[in-house]
Structure 1
Amino acid sequence: MAADYKQNPFTLAYEGAITENRKGQVNIHPVTYQLHGLDIAANVYTPANYEAGKKYPTVVVAHPNGGVKEQVAGLYAQRLAEQGYITITADAAYQGASGGQPRNVDKPAYRIEDIHGMADFISQYAGVDASRLGLLGICGGGGYSLAAAQTDKRFKSVATVSMFNSGRVRRNGYVNSQLDTIQTRLQQATAARAQEAAGGPVLYSGDANLTDEQIAKLPFDLYRQGYEYYWKTHAHPNSTFKYTTSSLLDLMRFDATDQIELINQPLLMIAGSQADSLYMTEDAFAKASGTKDKELFLIEGATHIETYWKQPYVNQALEKLSQFYGKFL
């Protein structure tokens, strides 16, 4: 169903992806900018008949954990551009095509700063109306978007799709399945950091080359369908599940809902009714007490990963996002 990244000149890996920029249509503009001394690789999408002298509402799109800008974040960014928004999606620092060593550091503070950095860059982009800036976070990017929007009031409205609270999952396990090993895993993360500091090899977690049989036996839809999405149907060479084990020192003390009451902007949280990650969206939504305008929208029948690519579900999410940003941007 997806575009093959090898056949796409922009290496986009989603259905209906742009293959060339044409006058009068949605166009894609690969850009690079600096954030704390690192090169950040991003794609900016401009709407049909874009004119630099006009002013457009704009949406920053944060990608999932392990994802890159060419996958679901690009799909949502392109589809929003089709509705008249300028959009940007960037690879997180230390990940994808962005700079930073060692590779695949995954620290919440960095991921949150990536979102502030996208806002910095796109606010200066020709045609952007910085007073109408929205934020969309998908999966892990959704959790980090909730954290970024708590204090960054440039974002006038905040939406998440299939929000994933990375800290909670790294700490407690998915669906709280690893509560009895928290201290053991913290010891492993501590040892990994000590090894790095002593000049030893960087250790990684989360990386696995599983057989189809092993994938089929995974206990959760998110993991089974996630392997299918990231390794097969929508694979991209810059996308990987692995992250430095030492990142867990930061991840395991993070929670996307800490201080969530600071969000006073309109908030829309979208999730699949069949997603085994739904508990995280429901928890965050209940705790978001600081906003007068909040809505939880369930896509009937959808799992977490199906909101990334299954057209009927993507269409429902985008219709809801269009109404939301249309009202609040």
Structure 2
Amino acid sequence: MPQTGNYIFELSDKVIRKSVSYRNRYGITISADLYIEKDFDEHKKYPAVIIGAPYGGVKEQGPGIYAQNMAERGFAALSFDPSFNGYSGGHPRHVSSPDFFVEDFSAAVDYIGTQVFVDRSKIGAIGICGSGGFALSAAQVDRRIKAVATISMYDMSRVNSDGMTDEERNARLDDLNEQRYIDFEADFPVLSQRGAPIGFDAATDPIGIEFGEFYSTPRGYHPNSITQFTATSSMSFMNFPLLTYIKTISPRPILFIVGENAHSRFFSEDALKEALEPKELYIVPNANHVDLYDKTDLIPFDKLETFFTTA
């Protein structure tokens, strides 16, 4: 059974949390938590939802909060650690990959869809931050995913490539190509800088402060969530756009949830323009990007329940 621990939230007395594991199609063992309501009836068929972690996050943080709240609303909810990260398998550690992270969503569907108490026709996906892009990308090819909701979405392909001239892109790739030689000869690949600074003050970039206040303080700290990936991981995102086929998700519905003041809001607004109906942008007043990771007074769970119930 996979290791788990250090949850940033208290377990509700209305749900049961079960540690589970399964393999994705690459043979990597995925560590996950299954949440079901306490008065669960094994003879019933439940709608299901799978929840992916923010980019750099793990299931014991925001994904668990979402899974717990959806389980309270009658869903079988599965939160999981991405390949190479958290308590999931894969070496070297802290690799980031558009292909593997998208596959992790489909592997979650494999698992949840083979549980006797799950209605296969009612499996949805929630992607938080970077996994919002991965959830959408998975739905482009995995039609078993009947509805997708993104929370504070990041498109990590754009993060790694937007705004660069051809000369800047080539210079970046030259640096990463040299790093591959270094990594090949070393015992462990070099990691990127932390996305969430450990020490921060008024002079720190505001986005860095926002992430640091979550990942680097007791509010959201987890030892597996270092907000770093192998430096050369970014090459894959520079080469493989995540949302090329977003139009093909239709007629399955997409719900984009963003904070009114989120620095990442444009990712959802741009994806909304590209997606076909049915689609919706839901704006949470007075919320920033990270607020929607864990602040249950702001996260619109009633909206999510309605969305997945009627999908």
Normalised by the size of structure 1, how large is the TM-score? 0.87
Matched, 1:319 2:307: no
Task: Give the secondary-structure state (helix, strand or coil) at the position aligned to 2:303.
Answer: helix
Provide the C-alpha distance between the structure 1 equivalents of 2:78 and 2:114, rounded to a whole number of angstroms. Answer: 12
Provide the C-alpha distance between the structure 2 equivalents of 1:29 and 1:161, rounded to a whole number of angstroms. Answer: 24
| Match 1:183 to one of 167, 170, 175 | 170
Superposition deviation, residue 258 in structure 1? 1.4
**C-alpha distance after superposition, 1:245-295 (max 9, x if no partner):** 111110122333212111111111000111010011101110012xx3111
Provide the C-alpha distance between the structure 1 equivalents of 2:194 and 2:303, rounded to a whole number of angstroms. Answer: 34
Superposition deviation, residue 10 in structure 1? 4.0
1:6 corresponding residue in structure 2 = none
**One-letter code of the match for 2:6?**
T
Task: Give the secondary-structure state (helix, strand or coil) at the position aligned to 2:269.
Answer: helix
| Partners of 2:37 and 2:72 within 8 A in 1 | yes
Residues 200 and 236 of structure 1, relative CA distance in 2, 3 Å threshold: closer
**One-letter code of the match for 1:80?**
M
| Partners of 1:40 and 1:93 within 8 A in 2 | yes
Provide the C-alpha distance between the structure 2 equivalents of 1:308 and 1:167, rounded to a whole number of angstroms. Answer: 21
| Partners of 1:164 and 1:277 within 8 A in 2 | yes
Provide the C-alpha distance between the structure 1 equivalents of 2:5 and 2:44, rounded to a whole number of angstroms. Answer: 26
Alignment of 1:50-129 (within 5 A): 50-129=40-119
| Match 2:291 to one of 303, 306, 309 | 306
Alignment of 1:120-269 (within 5 A): 120-172=110-162, 176=163, 181-198=168-185, 201-207=188-194, 210-213=198-201, 216-221=202-207, 223-232=208-217, 233-264=219-250, 265-269=252-256
Task: Give the secondary-structure state (helix, strand or coil) at the position aligned to 1:311.
Answer: coil
1:284 corresponding residue in structure 2 = 271
Identity of aligned residues (%): 33
Provide the C-alpha distance between the structure 2 equivalents of 1:249 and 1:52, rounded to a whole number of angstroms. Answer: 45
Provide the C-alpha distance between the structure 2 equivalents of 1:210 and 1:70, rounded to a whole number of angstroms. Answer: 19
1:34 corresponding residue in structure 2 = 23
**C-alpha distance after superposition, 1:72-93 (max 9, x if no partner):** 0110010000000001011001
**C-alpha distance after superposition, 1:88-114 (max 9, x if no partner):** 011001000011111000011010000
Number of residue equivalences: 303
Provide the C-alpha distance between the structure 1 equivalents of 2:193 and 2:112, rounded to a whole number of angstroms. Answer: 32
Residues 126 and 18 of structure 1, relative CA distance in 2, 3 Å threshold: farther
Matched, 1:18 2:5: no
**One-letter code of the match for 1:305?**
V
| Partners of 2:198 and 2:216 within 8 A in 1 | no
Query: RMSD value over aligned CA atoms?
Result: 1.8
Normalised by the size of structure 2, how large is the TM-score? 0.92
**One-letter code of the match for 1:269?**
F
**One-letter code of the match for 1:211?**
G
**One-letter code of the match for 1:225?**
E
| Partners of 2:61 and 2:294 within 8 A in 1 | no
Task: Give the secondary-structure state (helix, strand or coil) at the position aligned to 2:263.
Answer: coil
When structure 1 is superposed on structure 2, of 257-266 and 141-150 the one drifting more is 257-266
| Partners of 2:128 and 2:151 within 8 A in 1 | yes
| Partners of 1:220 and 1:276 within 8 A in 2 | no
Superposition deviation, residue 146 in structure 1? 0.8
